Amino acid sequence: MVCMRGLPMGVGREVKVVARAVCTRRRIDMKEIFDMKLKTQLMVATAAFACAGVAFSQTAPVAEPRNVVQLSATGTVEVEQDLLVLNLATSKEAADATTVQTQLKQALDAALKEARRNAQPGQLDVRTGPFGLYPRYGKDGKINGWQGRAELVLEGRDFARITATASKIQTLAINQVAFSLSTEARAKVEGEAQTQAINQFKARASELTKGFGFSDYSLREVSVNSNEMLPGPRPRMMAAEAKMGMSSDSAVPVEAGKAQVIVNVSGSVQMR
């Protein structure tokens, strides 16, 4: 095979066949050379068609959807808030941080002990709120004392139990009263609001379809979102007012408002 080494790198396969035959003194088969040339041409043609197909697929314009309209609909259900969140707090001041921390801890421990007596899952849940110490600065910019604050949260569906428990806690004062909707109450009415929204969406789609002179429509895309709208803030008794004129066993009067569970359905339809 020494004579094959002198061939240039770019020589075709059919030339190499002839050269190999000469080197080995084999009879040249013209049919073999013809078949190899035909295979080479077919491979080149196939590659060309493949490249042309890719280029066509990349440059071919995509037809824009026609007779498509965007719309949305809303379903709303009003429900009474069934969750009371009552926040109690106390603040302490002293010359050093250790004293403030000790006073806050004592006040919070006593409040927790009283609250846990009436705790009941779902009806009255007890948890601690923020607990923090902060330096107090004088006019000269230097620390001249410390102050701190501790909070306790009573939360649940039994309003009477919560307010009665809060009235028995003497080391913390009522700081804030708020209402919200429990997960169970929300889930109960969310399906109703969703049904309203879907029916309104379908009715609106039919109305638009007929209005534009079409006989039917098909749904292209849709999204469903829900949220809760609470009533505006209402003034509530703060710490000093809550204790004023009340005995230690007097429960703070509370009254829940109503919330709106809203489900929005939006999307597009194609008229036909």
Query: What is the pLDDT averaged over residues 28-32?
Result: 55
**Assigned token pair, 152:** 């306790």
Q: Which residues contact 184 (CB under 8 A, 6 or more apart)?
A: none
Report helix, strand or coil for 136.
strand
- The answer, yes or no, to whether residue 43 has pLDDT greater than 60, is yes
Report helix, strand or coil for 233.
coil
Confidence (pLDDT) at 255: 86
- The answer, yes or no, to whether residue 67 has pLDDT greater than 60, is yes
**Assigned token pair, 121:** 């899952």
Sign of CA dihedral 51, 54, 55, 56: positive
Query: What is the pLDDT averaged over residues 129-139?
Result: 94
pLDDT digits (tens, 9 = 90+) for 84-130: 999 999 999 999 999 999 999 999 999 999 999 999 999 999 999 99
Q: Cβ(146)–Cβ(93) under 8 Å? A: yes
Q: How confident is the model at residue 227 (pLDDT cuts 50, 70, 90)?
A: confident
